[in-house]
């Protein structure tokens, strides 16, 4: 008999969740999330480490509060990230902003919210930040509390990226900040998006430290994010213990006190999320099963940005009716299709699944990152609800949208 990954929870619970909250449905397992947070935290023994969750991957307040209760702060890419973090109860000093291309009003908003650590990605953004900070007067954040850093752009380390400042620009950046009575005290390094190769991070540690030492007021190293997650459960996973050991060793031998900031995103939250959906159509094209479900690829991350592969498993009951005994336990090549006519609306292609029937439940695994966060109203489908599982109980943490959301902010007669 063939086998495939087991569902994340029982059929009875899946049925109860859909009966209570409707289908499709995002389900997050709080206990799994806490275990992952603990694993990552314990993997880096360096005593001056600060963990900041990259909320671009998931902005649900209930989930952000789990990170806050676990002692993590927040990494913000946008003013919206900061806003959600504050609403989730994070103090401004627990939030690190590392974004790009803010206009003056947005920069003012970031500083008015009390954010004190900002990693800027260009000299123009650094100058804007310094100007806005100085123009705000003396009844605000003291100069001594503002920590400004540069996002590093070095092709041999960061790849072909639009973001960041080249080392040859550092002297101008240092002079710019000092003219305003401020210090340039941080370096932010971002290796790339979703990288599972641990060596890609460990092999550049020494180079990053050498570059950071070009900043005379260097106080913190933000080793960024981009840490991957093995969506294919047979793939190699990022080795947090090896990474933490090597990074801690290098920093401990510096002979000076440097704060370390680590910004896990998908690596921390991807595995705790599942998208449940129900089968609404089944047809066969020769030996291939074509399964239609009541959700859409618009409820998963954009494949061109964050990859298209997700493990899909089915809650297939025991053999039914006229089916040959054991038939439902055989696996067939299956395409799982969404409920739109978009030609690329595939939640999974060439999956190995048992023969399914209308009403069966499927689970798309590992959608905690860039699932709801990148969902859209493409082809005018309202977004699903979100539910949190904790201690065997489930509670709604975001209501399902209805069609009224499609009229929000429209102006018409």
pLDDT of residue 309: 80
DSSP code of residue 6: P
DSSP code of residue 322: T
Count of helices and strands (H, E) across the chain = 13, 17
pLDDT of residue 1: 37
Contact 47, 69 (CB under 8 A): no
Q: Which domains does the chain have, with CATH numbers?
A: 11-27+270-401 (2.40.37.10), 31-267 (3.20.20.10)
pLDDT of residue 204: 93
Length of the chain: 413
Q: Tokens in use for 199?
A: 């060596």
Strand partners, 222: 188, 261
Contact 391, 31 (CB under 8 A): yes
Q: Tokens in use for 53?
A: 């969750």
pLDDT of residue 323: 46
Give the three-class secondary structure for 235.
coil
Write the CB contacts of 343 (distance below 8 Å, at least 6 apart in sequence).
none
Nearest to 77 by CA among 43, 52, 113: 52
Nearest to 332 by CA among 394, 401, 285, 388: 285
Give the three-class secondary structure for 395.
strand
Instruction: Please classify residue 168 by burial: count the beta carbons closer than 10 Å to its beta carbon, then call 0-12 exposed, 13-18 middle and 19+ buried.
Output: exposed
Taking CB atoms within 8 Å and a gap of at least 24, the contacts of 356-359 are: 356/279, 356/282, 356/289, 356/291, 356/314, 356/316, 357/279, 357/282, 357/320, 358/279, 358/280, 358/281, 358/282, 359/278, 359/279
Give the three-class secondary structure for 81.
helix
Cβ-based neighbour number of residue 183 at 10 Å: 19
Distance from the Cα of residue 351 to its chain's centroid: 25
pTM: 0.93
Contact 378, 384 (CB under 8 A): no
Q: Tokens in use for 28?
A: 């997050």
Give the three-class secondary structure for 147.
strand
Give the three-class secondary structure for 94.
helix
- pLDDT averaged per 10 residues in sequence order, the chain, 413 residues: 72 95 98 98 97 97 98 97 98 96 96 96 96 77 86 85 92 95 94 81 94 96 89 87 96 94 96 97 96 93 69 74 54 94 90 93 95 92 96 95 96 91
Contact 124, 97 (CB under 8 A): no
Backbone region of residue 141 per phi and psi (left: phi > 0; alpha: psi in -120 to 50; beta: other values): beta
The sign one gets for the Cα dihedral 246, 249, 254, 258 is positive
Strands (E), 125-229: 147-151, 184-188, 220-222
Task: For helices 79-87 and 104-112, give the axis angle rounded to 10 degrees.
Answer: 20
């Amino acid at each position: 008999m063939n086998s495939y990954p087991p569902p994340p929870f029982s059929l009875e619970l899946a049925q109860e969740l859909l009966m209570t909250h409707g289908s499709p449905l995002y389900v997050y397992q709080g206990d799994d999330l806490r275990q992952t947070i603990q694993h990552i935290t314990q993997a880096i023994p360096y005593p001056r480490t600060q963990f900041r969750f990259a909320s671009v991957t998931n902005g649900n307040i209930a989930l952000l509060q789990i990170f806050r209760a676990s002692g993590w702060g927040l990494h913000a890419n946008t003013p919206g990230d900061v806003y959600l973090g504050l609403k989730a109860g994070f103090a401004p000093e627990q939030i690190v902003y590392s974004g790009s291309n803010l206009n003056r009003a947005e920069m003012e908003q970031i500083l008015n919210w009390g954010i004190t650590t900002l990693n800027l990605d260009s000299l123009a953004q650094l100058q804007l930040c310094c100007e806005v900070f100085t123009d705000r007067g003396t009844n605000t954040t003291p100069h001594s509390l503002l920590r400004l850093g540069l996002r590093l752009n070095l092709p041999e380390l960061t790849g072909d990226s639009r973001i960041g400042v080249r080392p040859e620009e550092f002297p101008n950046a240092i002079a710019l900040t000092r003219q305003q009575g401020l210090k340039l005290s941080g370096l932010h390094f971002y290796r790339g998006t979703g990288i599972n190769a641990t060596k890609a991070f460990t092999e550049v540690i020494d180079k990053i430290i050498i570059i950071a030492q070009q900043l005379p007021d260097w106080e913190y190293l933000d080793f960024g994010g981009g840490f991957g997650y093995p969506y294919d459960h047979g793939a190699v996973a990022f080795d947090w213990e090896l990474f933490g050991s090597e990074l801690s060793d290098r920093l401990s031998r510096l002979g000076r006190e440097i704060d370390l900031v680590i910004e896990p995103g998908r690596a921390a939250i991807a595995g705790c999320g599942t998208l449940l959906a129900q089968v609404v159509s089944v047809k066969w094209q020769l030996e291939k099963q074509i399964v239609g479900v009541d959700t859409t690829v618009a409820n998963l991350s954009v494949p061109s940005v964050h990859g298209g592969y997700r493990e899909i498993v089915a809650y297939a009951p025991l053999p039914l009716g006229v089916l040959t005994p054991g038939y439902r336990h055989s696996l067939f090549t299956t395409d799982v299709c969404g409920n739109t006519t978009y030609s690329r609306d595939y939640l999974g292609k060439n999956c190995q699944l048992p023969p399914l029937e209308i009403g069966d439940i499927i689970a798309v695994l590992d959608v905690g990152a860039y699932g709801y966060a990148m969902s859209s109203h493409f082809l005018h489908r309202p977004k699903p609800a979100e539910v949190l599982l904790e201690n065997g109980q489930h509670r709604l943490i975001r209501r399902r949208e209805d069609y009224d959301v499609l009229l929000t902010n429209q102006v018409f007669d």
